[in-house]
A and B are shown apart, each in its own frame.
Chain A
Amino acid sequence: MQPANLMLLVIAFVVVAYGLGYARSRSLAMPMGGIRHLKSLPFYYGARAALWCGIPALIVLALWAAFQGKVIQLLVIGSLPPDLVPEGAGQASLLLSKISNVASGALPPGFVEAPIAEAAERLQALRAQSRLYMSVLVVAVAVLAGFLGWIRISPKLNARSQVETTLKWIFFACAALAILTTVGIVFSVAFETFRFFQKISFFEFFFGTQWSPQTALRADQVAAEGAFGMVPLFTGTLLISAIAMVVAVPVGLLSAIYLSEYANKRVRGIFKPLLEMLAGIPTVVYGFFAALTVAPFISDFAASLGINASSQSALAAGGVMGIMIIPFVSSLSDDVINAVPQTLRDGSLALGATQSETMKKVIFPAALPGIMGGILLAVSRAIGETMIVVMAAGLAANLTANPLESVTTVTVQIVTLLTGDQEFDSAKTLAAFALGAMLFLATLLLNVIALKIVRKYREQYD
């Protein structure tokens, strides 16, 4: 049975277990003179039986479904004749995809070597076996655990407190998933990054000014020896983020000031949601806009002035990214400006200052740390933004500060290195994880600093 169907079956079992538990508690209570002699309400006896039935079965199901793919792969590889056993992980994944293509019928068995066709049959058989074993095991666990939970129901049993404690642990597990996710991110990038630095020196990665990750796939192939210096990617990312900030900060800040200090409630009610619409537009749409409308416009415009501009200029990507970040800057500044106590405003206005003077000389300095925090968050947004740059910025790793030239960014390279088929131990793929690690660290650092500033600032006026 497929995991999804099996899951439905387990849910059916859980419902049955609930019903049986409920009925048993009632029938136990009957000779004693009604359910008021039970320690808990029948509902809790039913729920307890359901939990007993469902939790172990679902855990077994999840574990089996998670690991069966890997185990089957290893078994299939292990059973290949020795001369076909792949050497590296890259070869293995190629071979595996070939085998599974034969197994799924996409590739006729006649087109491949006999051992591979056999392996495909074995893969099919193992998959069928795995499904069968999984179904039997899950059903057995559900029935057995459900029975155990059911048989131990007695009027003295405090089902309610047991059910509530279990629920509390389930809630805790859900909250702890956040830790697990972070750990997963750290380990998945750290592990590959470590392997990357075994192949490429630390020094070259951080200080090299050449980035051309195309390495030779085979030993005899004529290809450039890959160069992995992240300086051009780093400067490219910074250039595009800087352009984005030049657009987003003044526009976002000024519109926040206008909406919070000048606009009346009605105007605010209309324009604030409109501004926030900019934040709800998917990044792929901005990428489309940048690549197909803004970039050609900029290069045509520059050409009409006699300036040479790349058709994938940093200016197009950065400018559109700036538009995307406007609502981010404006809503954060809005919060901060509104957090400045009204007394400061009143005091300044009472002294005869105009509204703009109050804003510039009193409120802005008071809000500055918070606004800085907001801007740092926006920078971390810009650094991690992917689709706009993938579509509108180029692939060429130029080391330049000219916004009309094409640059590439860390995120563009991660996507380029990891889309399509790839082998898993080449320096090329590992480099993507090393870049991911750098990106994660950079955004984490910015966020921690920014949140600290914002929080500290908030406490100041609370």
Chain B
Amino acid sequence: MTDQRSQAELVRQSLKRRYRKERRFRAYGIAAIAIALSALVILFADIIGKGHTAFIKTTVTLEVDIDGEAMYLDDASDERQMKMADFVEPLIRALMKEIPEAGESDRDDVRDLINPYASNQLRDALRENPELLNTTQTMTFLSHTDVDVYVKHAGDASYSIKLNEKQRGWVDALYERGVVDTGFNDVFFSRGDSRDPSRAGILGAIVGSLLTMVVTLALSFPIGVAAAIYLEEFAPQNKLTDFIEVNINNLAAVPSIIFGLLGLAVFINLFGMPRSVPVVGGLVLTLMTLPTIIISSRAAIKSVPPSIREAAEGIGASKMQVVLHHVLPLAMPGMLTGSIIGMAQALGETAPLLLIGMVAFIVDVPDGFFDSATVLPVQVFLWAGSPELAFIERASAAIMVLLTFLIGMNALAIWLRKRLERRW
């Protein structure tokens, strides 16, 4: 009796300690989730903090006196004269007019406020409309990248401002008067890559990604669905089928860079396909995403109840008719969901594409499946490696665009699943 009581006493005494332990354990769990989520929050905050300014461009609006004499040009429709003409001079003069305190000795400093390609813009305008010669036009140009950095990040210690004191004063005054202005950076969404950060855009990378994804989807969806149908519905129980299954499961876990090696050795070296084209990228990503699509399609087929098959067979449908007319349509939402997730994976993939040469510096927006191209994540990689902070800023912005696409695709997958999936 005393023994029992003392035992109960012992348990009671230990309870406090045990409950404390219990609370501590629970707190560990909460802390773990908090760590993971704070990593997510810090990641997003960091990228948005670094990149949101990339969506702003700095422009300079000038009253340009397109003076033929100063440009050594008397006929803008004459291509030979156009090649020789000086398109910088009118820009410098227009700027000097806006900055009365700048003297002749400051010409170079004044010129460096405006984008080096502004003269090309003037030339193209004249080429298009030769009548503009010897008139005065109000034109808006991109500012020099250094001005862009100064206007957006003047107070930020991590950015090094390359403008000298005098130029800073001018820019401040011009900004006050609205000559230098900021606006939505449409250049970022309408151009390819460039050596000049303020003219660099992601359209080329987006189109490259799109072309690559078209190839990937067009190949991996039908092949993946067909393979899943075979394995679930037709495959006999034998060694070959087992071998196929083992292969699919292992391929799903092979590091993506290995697929890059495969693409390099087979598609480029063996077949002599060109480097850095969307077709080869799409082929490599197809091989990489196939296991994902096959596995999710098989799960979708498995979830179709046997009663459907039996009913169809009962009224005389052949095996193939059962599959194509009944099982496949019912499994389609699940297959689509899996494929969208596989595509999202492929869209964010970088490593294998580096090996097949999609890391080239490409200015033009690709116009076909056999045109040199780069893709969004590779563009991020390229810009992130640049020592210029203006490119880092654009890399963050490109990440935001990439993540927007990915979140959109995942949301679509979730919506599809909610909307179309049936519970049996």
Contacts and interface: CB of A to CB of B under 8 A. Distances in A.
5 contacts: A175-B244, A184-B266, A188-B262, A258-B28, A280-B348
A178 B248 contact: yes
Interface in A159-199: 160-161, 164, 167-168, 170-172, 174-179, 181-182, 184-185, 188-189, 191-192
B40 A277 contact: yes
B26 A411 contact: no
A259 interface: yes
Interface string B318-360: 1110000000000000000000000010011111001101010
Contact of B350 (A178, A254, A283, A327): A283
A182 B406 CA distance: 29
Contacts of A168: 230, 234, 320
Contacts of B253: 377, 380-381, 443, 447
Interface stretch (A31-39, A51-59, A289-297): A289-297
A262 interface: yes
Given A384-B255, A439-B257, A444-B250, A174 B226 contact: yes
Given A288-B395, A289-B43, A451-B249, A280 B26 contact: no
B258 A255 contact: no
Contacts of A327: 36
Interface of B: 11, 18-19, 21-22, 25-26, 28-33, 35-37, 39-40, 43, 46-47, 50, 222-224, 226-227, 229-231, 234-235, 243-244, 247-251, 253-262, 264-266, 269-274, 287, 290-291, 294, 318-320, 344, 347-351, 354-355, 357, 359, 368-370, 377-378, 380-381, 384-385, 392, 395-396, 399, 402-403, 406, 410
A288 B47 contact: yes
A275 B36 contact: yes
Contact of A282 (B50, B270, B319, B350): B350
Given A282-B406, A285-B402, A293-B46, A172 B18 contact: no
A443 B47 contact: no
A271 to B, nearest CB: 6
B342 to A, nearest CB: 12
Contact of A178 (B270, B290, B370): B290
A418 B351 CA distance: 11
Contacts of A275: 33, 36-37
Contact of B250 (A4, A182, A250): A182
Given A277-B40, A355-B22, A380-B255, 5 more contacts: A174-B227, A287-B381, A289-B47, A386-B257, A444-B250
Given A70-B271, A176-B244, A359-B25, A284 B348 contact: yes
A399 interface: no
Contacts of A411: 255, 257, 351
A171 B230 contact: yes
Contact of A184 (B33, B39, B262, B354): B262
B247 A174 contact: no
B395 A189 contact: no
Interface residues of A, number: 98
Interface of A: 2, 4, 66-73, 160-161, 164, 167-168, 170-172, 174-179, 181-182, 184-185, 188-189, 191-192, 250-255, 257-259, 262, 271, 274-275, 277-278, 280-289, 291-293, 323, 326-327, 330, 352, 354-357, 359-360, 377, 380-381, 383-387, 390-391, 411, 414-415, 418-420, 424, 432-433, 436, 439-440, 443-444, 447-448, 451
A275 B39 CA distance: 10
A278 B39 contact: yes
Given A282-B377, A285-B399, A185 B47 contact: no
Contact of A175 (B227, B250, B270): B227
Given A178-B244, A356-B26, A433 B265 contact: yes
Contact of B291 (A178, A179, A291): A178
B244 A254 contact: no
Given A278-B39, A283-B351, A443-B255, A262 B226 contact: no
A255 B32 contact: yes
Contacts of B21: 354, 356-357
B144 to A, nearest CB: 24
Nearest to B261: A436
A288 B50 CA distance: 11
